[in-house]
Amino acid sequence: MATKKTLKKAPAAAASAWDKVKIARDAKRPHVWDFIEGIFDDFEELHGDRLVNDDAAMVAGFGTIGGEKVLLLGHHKGATVEENMAANFGMANPDGYRKAMRLGKLAERFGNPIVTFVDTPGAYPGREAEERGQAEAIAKSLEFFSALKTPIVVVVTGEGGSGGALAIAVGDRILMMENAVYSVISPEGCAGILWRDGAKAPEAAEALKITAPDLLSLGAIDEIIPEPAGGAHKNHKRACANVKKAVLKALKELKGIALDELVEKRYAKIRSYGNFY
């Protein structure tokens, strides 16, 4: 009697860097307000940079996570076309970064840790933003958060694009969701510069080493947060639970470190970027 052979399924191919870029940009992926509603209690949004404007692309306010009062800062892309337009697709103006710094000073004064959610294609490159000092605001933000005497936990949730992301990504623990990407330039921008051909974006994505595993191996991030099967957009509740668990773990680790030592280690972390030896 012939025995029936069982066919084994071939293992699924690992997602390419370009696949990760597409997942990170998925419109249904959880955005900052999804994380606020799924993770934080008693969130109170605060507005304005006290100089020019209130930037809708940068959400800021105080809330509670696991009984700990923290300052939350995050890029706001929006989940609908109307929200995208109002929030400038998550591309902050100088006003957004100055709002983040203003409230960061409050967090330091009251001894509240800071949690930032990074999800932006980059800072807004428009004329008005440049006239109001976009480059200066980003540079000042890097300097400001590198020396701030309070714990800072960063979570890259979607796109971490260029200086627009880095301005609020200076922290003591840099966490990154499994399908997020983090890069000095978009794959399309890189392909346009190197090959003058945007169609080579998939090749550029591979070369840039923008995925969470690549960045963890290079020492640019500290931990990868797992996502539900298929990506965070498939299950917002599970994605939020995973992020909350990772953030609470990081905050617990940082609370035991003296503030002067914390700032010293943070500065050393920043200075080590790009040193691969």
pLDDT in tens, 72-99: 999 999 888 888 888 888 899 999 999 9
The mean-pLDDT minimum among 3-7, 28-32, 173-177, 199-203 falls in: 3-7
**Which contacts of 75-84 are long-range, i.e. CB under 8 A and separated by 24 or more positions?**
75/32, 75/117, 75/118, 75/119, 75/120, 75/164, 75/165, 75/168, 76/31, 76/32, 76/33, 77/31, 77/32, 77/119, 77/120, 77/158, 78/31, 79/27, 79/28, 79/31, 79/33, 79/34
Q: Compute the residue count for the chain.
A: 277
- In a 10 Å sphere around its CB, with 0-12 CB exposed, 13-18 middle and 19+ buried, how is residue 31 labelled? buried
Could you tell me the domains of the chain? Answer: 17-270 (3.90.226.10)
The predicted-structure confidence for 103-139, as pLDDT tens digits, reads as follows: 999 999 999 999 999 999 989 888 999 998 999 999 9
pLDDT in tens, 59-76: 999 999 999 999 999 999
Identify the pLDDT of residue 14: 58
pTM for this structure?
0.90
